[in-house]
Amino acid sequence: MWIELQDIHKYYGPVRANNGVSIKVVPGTIHGILGENGAGKSTLMKILSGYTQKTKGAILLDGKSVTYQNPAQAARLGIGMLYQDPLDFPLLSILDNFMLGQTGGFADQRKKYRQEFESLSNSINFSLDPDAVVRGLTIGERQQLEIMRMLALGIEVLILDEPTTGISGTQKELLFNALSKLASEGKSVILVSHKLEDVEALCHTVSVLRYGKVTGRMDAPFNTAELLKMMFGTLPVPPTRKPTKPGETVLDLQQVSASGGRTGLKSCTVAIRKGEIVGLAGLEGSGQGVFLRIASGLKQPKTGEVRLGGRKLGGQDYHALKRLGVAFLPTSRLEEGLISGLNITEHFALQSHHNGFLVRWQKAFEKAARRIDNFRIKGAPASPVESLSGGNQQRLLLSFLPANPVLLLLENPTRGLDVESVNWVWQHLQEYCASETGTCIVFSSSELDEIMMVADRVLVFFNGSVIKDTKTAETDTQELGRAIAGKV
Amino acid sequence: MVELNLSILLAGVVAGATPVVLAALGETITEKAGIINLSLDGTILLGAMAAFALSYETGSLLAGFMGGAAVGAVVAGIVAVFSIYLGQNQVAVGFVLTLMTRDLAYFLGNAYARLQGPQVPPQPIPLLSKIPFLGEVFFSHNIPVYFSLLFIAFCWWYIYRTPLGLQLRAVGEHPRAVYARGIDPRKLQVLYAVCGGCFVGLAGAVFSLSAKPGWGRPQGAEGTGWIALALVIFGGWHPVKAALGAYLFAFLQVMGIYFQGWFPSVPAQVFQVAPFPLMIFTLVLMHLAQKESVLSWAEEKAWMKSIVHMFSGAAPAALGKPYRSE
Amino acid sequence: MKSSNIIKKIREILLTLLAVFAFTTVILLLAGAPPLKAYYHIFKGSLGSWIKLSYVIKAWIPLTLCACGLLYTFRINLWNIGVEGQMMMGAVVTTAVLRLGIDTQVPNLVLWLSFIGGIVGGAAWALLAGYLKTRGGVNEIFAGLGLNFVAQGIILWLIFGLWKRPGVASMSGTEIFPPELWLFYAPGLRISPAGLAIVIIAVIITAAMLRYTRIGLNLKAIGANRDAAYLFGLRPGKYMLIAMIFAGGFAGIAGSMQVTGVYHRLLPAISSNYGYLALLVVMLANYNVWLAPAVAFFFACLNVGSIQLPMKLQLDSSLSGVIQGALVLAILAIHAWRTRVKFRAAEEAPTKMQQANGSRVES
């Protein structure tokens, strides 16, 4: 089936996730959609699969304009999608998951669907036990289940969103073989990925997205350098910051492993020194979040050793580390960082260190007013935090940071901020490192140019491990981009 | 000394548990779909009152049962709509309705208090009731009792064996995924809340027309709703386990009468609260059974493992968190 | 802007009242009762005379005390349905203290000690539910509910066992205490100054705690966003227990009031369902400290006034409960409608937001 996306726009409030995307997919091919985090790939695919509604634009199937409101209608037209987090039912068996949505009524149709399941899995070379419970499966197996379900529904266009994240090499091979087979049978496969390696290995054609727009299209064989340029743009190279002389080790991780995120953290050994700014790069959920949470005491490692300022940590929680001068700011400002329903003054009152019985409202108010002024927050002491814009929420969070932290851990500190706010945030943060305490900052970011601009050092996470640890002065975005994609 | 006659005792348990079984199964259906209907205790009373009044006025028992079921459906429907379409807290709405329906029942039922009304006649099943012991325990009752026995099997079959039951389980676990498969989770949740409510109302009707015939203040059904809510958890959201819990509860209640004979100094009411500490204890065990440390500890001991498994019933993942469209 | 808001609020309240009034009238007609007469008797039975008003105040005192306690638990987002049992256990401990002090020559001291006993009893019972929640992973609704029934069982056991009346034990409760151990009532006024003082102090303390103390602020923060509050250095579990202690303490002293001021003995219905009713009071008052006593007063009027219904119109007194429930439901519905309207208005003005908040993706 021919698919044509024409001038697709999708706005989430002020955010333009897709800003005029046009893509054509030829039947019988595997079409890659490449781009970094936040480029708008997932949004585009959710629109195509009917899960989200577009703001503007048209979808043409075999030249005919179609509209649909939900995934079920899309499936009837032959479009199906595998989501990044599989939308399945962990407590149900594979067979139940397979049947669900295909059939209704009272009659027990397990036998019929078991047969269908088995013949399908033979034809596509997957081996799943239909009676196993989904909860115990790996992500790769859950993908296989979803693919089989899609095929049973008569899908002609199969969309896969980052399917190779968190699956093993063998499973990847199985998956790629299956996808190639589907394409050879005349079905269209759309593979969304940020991994060059996968796209290069599998796709016939690639469209690259950046900032919600298509920046290029290429047929196999691919020119890697060219693709990287489309993904990350041609970058200005202004390392605005003199590299500081790193001092003694502040944070020391030895062979630390932990669960969590999409991939967990796998035997990570990293030392972070005084006065350093370290950027954590990598696909979302490749272990950066777990790293930051272990360093801040929000999570305990399963194995390995963490030292802070030379002292071995043994199960101290976040509150204990906070007293030792560790500060952490989470990504989701309104979900984890700030308390919606409370105003700015109340946040400062919460923050206050004195242990009296009464809240010193006057002091909190004055402090709030002062900080609003210093941090140029657009808001009043009585403004509820949820009424602030993203940039102002981040300024507010930064204004809570203690005066002389030893270690600042920031998860995506500039996500969703405009350029002006980003610059402001970094100017402010750099003051900490220049100060006498010599604070070290560890931050994660999906923006390579941001890391290149402000960090002294970069750790690239891939599949839960640090696969690259280098000074920013000694690398470039191309090399980092490849590392993010798993090519060292 | 009170003498124990096992078959009479067990027959009493089967008959006495009937309304509790219906209410617990009704609520199991509702909660499987992800909706908590906290209003059970009041709904049962209002259902009992409506059933008695209707069958008294019309002379038809069937009208009474249908009226009771309708009351249960309406109350559950209010909880579901307030929660799913109006975004209100299910617990808050359910709790208000608990109190309100109870008072409504007392108020509207005042005129019917202590009247002699119709009553479901006993209908021993020919042949089957002649089987020694089993016949007396299971087949010498009336239609509601037989219905409740069949209903347990039906619930299990429906929930675990039919494609529709699969949808029911799915919507309580992951409404978004249900949406992605082309089923409207909200409609499904309202539907099953109302269905479950029907049986809760029916439980009330069984009280006033069969188990504790007649109407009054108090009717005697008070507290049953809370028990049923507890049994849903006790049964780990499994219909058969919940029903077994209901029989256990009825057994404790019947035994209470014997206990009173044996320990005349302890009032009967004390035995009636026995299920509640038991429920709390069960909940704690269920919490522990889900802890990783306990699981790994039990891993090596076969008998511990089976006990842990018994208490491992987990609430539907989306219980109390209805679907919101993006 | 502000005055139009007030008009809107008033319109909402009028709409609510009208809806509930219409609903209740239908219910009355269904029961074959003359609606106007019923309303008249409820009014006259509650505010018609000084004696009736004194009954209202007797009901208002425990209701307001429980409502005060619930404000703490609601603040941290806990559904303390166990307030009923906490009130009962307050009454039990109060009775125990009074029984111990029955032969001493210092009745006033015993009375005050029994209040403290009530607070301790209620708080301990609440703490038990709190521990079950924070340590045992038992939802506070089921823990509280279970403990309510257990408390009821304890009361029955005491009345029929340990503390039974000489001769016959009966549902009418334990033996009546000598008048020295009754809460003092001002003779002409039929009102207990001490009871009134305790309520007023409770309301003021609660208002001050929630507004001016760190505990109040922390409860609010944890209730609004537990994860973020943890990042701010608060321990949610600890504050849940603190909230439970406050709620239980206030409920416990409400139980003391029932024993010393109203019934002068322990009886099975000692809590009069005021705990459950207080949950409705707080919801209808929209969790506002200053509105809660007013709503509690209105509810007390309904409760006391509807006692006239059986006598005058052969109706059941539970009409009050129907009206109270309908009011809360109506308010919830109106609240839902209001947030919906707000939500829509926000959706329609995205351009304005866009200007204020340019995005990185766009740039």
A89/B182 Cβ within 8 A: no
pTM of the model: 0.86
A14/C359 Cβ within 8 A: yes
Per residue in C37-90, pLDDT tens?
999 999 999 999 999 999 999 999 999 999 999 999 999 999 999 999 999 999
* Contact status of C266 with chain B (Cβ, < 8 Å): no
Which of C216, C220, C361 lies closest to A342 in CB terms?
A: C220
Which of C132, C157, C160 lies closest to B284 in CB terms?
A: C132
Per DSSP, C115 falls in state H
Instruction: Find, in chain B, the residue whose alpha carbon is nearest to that of A87.
Output: B177
pLDDT of res. B252: 80
C221/A336 Cβ within 8 A: no
Say how many CB pairs under 8 Å bridge A and C. Answer: 105
- Considering the domain architecture, whether residues C127 and C270 belong to the same structural domain is answered as yes
Name the neighbours of B, counting chains with at least 3 Cβ pairs within 8 A: A, C
- Considering the domain architecture, whether residues C325 and C305 belong to the same structural domain is answered as no
* Average pLDDT score over chain B: 87
Per DSSP, C159 falls in state I
Of B209-223, B270-284, C22-36, the one with minimum mean pLDDT is: B270-284
- Compute how many other C-beta atoms are within 10 angstroms of the C-beta atom of residue C36: 10
C217/A350 Cβ within 8 A: yes
Return the CATH number at A473. Answer: 3.40.50.300
- Considering the domain architecture, whether residues A165 and A61 belong to the same structural domain is answered as yes
The Cα A23–Cα C1 span in angstroms is 49
pLDDT of res. A452: 86
Tell me, what amino acid is at A201?
A
Residues 6+ apart with CB under 8 A from C142: B229, B230, B233, B279, B280, B283
- Considering the domain architecture, whether residues C151 and C223 belong to the same structural domain is answered as yes
- Considering the domain architecture, whether residues A45 and A115 belong to the same structural domain is answered as yes
- Considering the domain architecture, whether residues A205 and A312 belong to the same structural domain is answered as no
Residues 6+ apart with CB under 8 A from A353: none
Q: Does residue C278 fall inside a structural domain? A: yes
CATH 1.10.3470 correct for B6-266: yes
- Considering the domain architecture, whether residues A256 and A227 belong to the same structural domain is answered as no
A109 CB neighbours in chain B (<8 A) are 163
Q: Is the pLDDT of residue C184 over 90?
A: no
Q: Domain boundary at A202, A232, A262, which?
A: A232
Q: Domain boundary at C313, C337, C357, which?
A: C313
A99/B181 Cβ within 8 A: no
C138/B276 Cβ within 8 A: no
SS3 B109: helix
Structural domain tally of chain C? 2
B283/C143 Cβ within 8 A: yes
**Per-residue confidence in pLDDT tens, chain A, 488 aa:** 889 999 999 887 666 788 899 999 999 999 999 887 667 888 899 899 888 888 889 999 998 999 888 888 888 899 999 887 778 898 889 999 998 888 777 888 888 999 999 998 888 888 889 999 888 787 788 888 999 998 888 889 999 988 876 677 778 888 999 999 999 999 999 998 877 778 888 899 999 988 888 988 888 788 888 888 888 776 444 445 555 666 788 899 999 998 877 778 998 999 998 888 999 998 777 889 999 999 999 988 888 999 988 888 887 889 999 888 899 998 877 778 899 889 999 999 998 777 788 998 999 999 999 999 888 888 889 888 888 877 788 889 988 888 888 999 999 888 767 667 777 888 888 888 777 777 899 999 877 878 888 898 999 998 889 999 998 888 887 788 888 877 77
The Cα C143–Cα A287 span in angstroms is 39
pLDDT of res. C362: 29
* Average pLDDT score over chain C: 88
Return the CATH number at C150. Answer: 1.10.3470
C139/B284 Cβ within 8 A: no
Joined together, the tokens standing for residue C307 give: 């006692």
The alpha carbon of residue B220 and the mean position of all alpha carbons in its chain are separated, in whole angstroms, by 16
- Considering the domain architecture, whether residues C246 and C195 belong to the same structural domain is answered as yes
pLDDT of res. B326: 53
Instruction: Find, in chain A, the residue whose alpha carbon is nearest to that of C227.
Output: A336
- Considering the domain architecture, whether residues C25 and C170 belong to the same structural domain is answered as no
* Contact status of C344 with chain A (Cβ, < 8 Å): no
Per residue in A328-351, pLDDT tens?
998 877 778 899 889 999 999 998
A343 CB neighbours in chain C (<8 A) are none
Q: Does residue A241 fall inside a structural domain? A: no
C161 CB neighbours in chain B (<8 A) are 265-267
SS3 A129: coil
Tell me, what amino acid is at C65?
L
C354 CB neighbours in chain A (<8 A) are 13-14
A71 CB neighbours in chain B (<8 A) are 179-182
B166/A99 Cβ within 8 A: yes
Structural domain tally of chain A? 2
Which of B158, B163, B178 lies closest to A99 in CB terms?
A: B163
Interface test with A, best of B179, B181, B319 (most A CBs within 10 A): B181
pLDDT of res. B268: 66
Q: Where exactly are the structural domains of chain B?
A: 6-266, 274-313
B266/C31 Cβ within 8 A: no
pLDDT of res. B196: 97
* Contact status of C162 with chain B (Cβ, < 8 Å): no
- Considering the domain architecture, whether residues A221 and A132 belong to the same structural domain is answered as yes
B164 CB neighbours in chain A (<8 A) are 104-106
Phi, psi of B86 (to 5 degrees): -105, -5
- Considering the domain architecture, whether residues C301 and C329 belong to the same structural domain is answered as no
Smallest Cα distance from C105 to chain A, Å: 39
Of residues B96, B83, B88, B98, the one with CA closest to residue B190: B83
Per residue in B253-295, pLDDT tens?
787 777 777 777 666 666 677 777 877 887 788 777 777 666 6
Q: Does residue C297 fall inside a structural domain? A: yes
- Considering the domain architecture, whether residues C158 and C264 belong to the same structural domain is answered as yes
- Considering the domain architecture, whether residues A293 and A153 belong to the same structural domain is answered as no
The Cα B240–Cα B247 span in angstroms is 11
- What per-residue string of b and e applies to B83-110 under the rule 16 or more CB within 10 Å gives b? bbeeebebbbbbbbbbbbbbbbbbbbbb
Which of C169, C316, C328 lies closest to B217 in CB terms?
A: C316
A92/B314 Cβ within 8 A: no
Q: Which residues sit opposite A80 in a β-bridge?
A: A158
The parent domain of residue C9 ranges over: 1-32+317-347
* Contact status of B116 with chain C (Cβ, < 8 Å): no
B230/C336 Cβ within 8 A: no
Tell me, what amino acid is at A137?
L
pLDDT of res. B299: 67
Q: Domain boundary at A176, A205, A232, which?
A: A232
Instruction: Find, in chain A, the residue whose alpha carbon is nearest to that of C230.
Output: A319
Which of C150, C159, C321 lies closest to B276 in CB terms?
A: C150
The Cα A90–Cα A95 span in angstroms is 12
* Contact status of A91 with chain B (Cβ, < 8 Å): yes
C353/A419 Cβ within 8 A: no
- Considering the domain architecture, whether residues C100 and C164 belong to the same structural domain is answered as yes
The parent domain of residue A38 ranges over: 3-232
Of residues A5, A9, A88, A78, the one with CA closest to residue A43: A9
Per residue in A127-157, pLDDT tens?
889 999 888 787 788 888 999 998 888 889 9
Smallest Cα distance from C324 to chain A, Å: 28
Say how many CB pairs under 8 Å bridge A and B. Answer: 68
